[in-house]
Amino acid sequence: MLRDTIELNIKRIIDFLTYSKNFLVRTNPIQASIQGFVEGLKEFLTMKKKLKMAQYRLNYHRHQFQKMEQLIAENNNHSFLKGNNLNETR
């Protein structure tokens, strides 16, 4: 009776260790954490370059927007941006 219980518990422990080993081989958490760390390091090191690219894109779109506003203002007599009609009537 005691021997059967011990054998059953040892079998359960061996099964648990086998499942654990297979899980670790399948998922490989150490390699995943190393890969995540490397990706984070790359992101950190390229942050300044990405910021400069974003600022360039923002300035480019701002300039395009201002050019578009300028064209709309020049072609619209009722625009408050034009100002020429107001200055001419003074």
CA 70 to mean position of chain CA atoms: 35
SS3 label, residue 78: coil
Whole-number Å distance between alpha carbons of 42 and 36: 10
Residue 53 CB neighbours (<10 A): 11
Dig out the tokens for 66 from the structure: 């201002």
> Mind giving me the DSSP string for 4-34?
HHHHHHHHHHHHHHHHHHHHHHHH-HHHHHH
Dig out the tokens for 48 from the structure: 């300044």
Q: What is the pLDDT of residue 42?
A: 95
Q: Domain spans of the chain?
A: 1-45, 48-90
pTM: 0.49
pLDDT in tens, 31-54: 999 999 999 999 999 999 999 999
Is the model more confident about 77 or about 66? 66
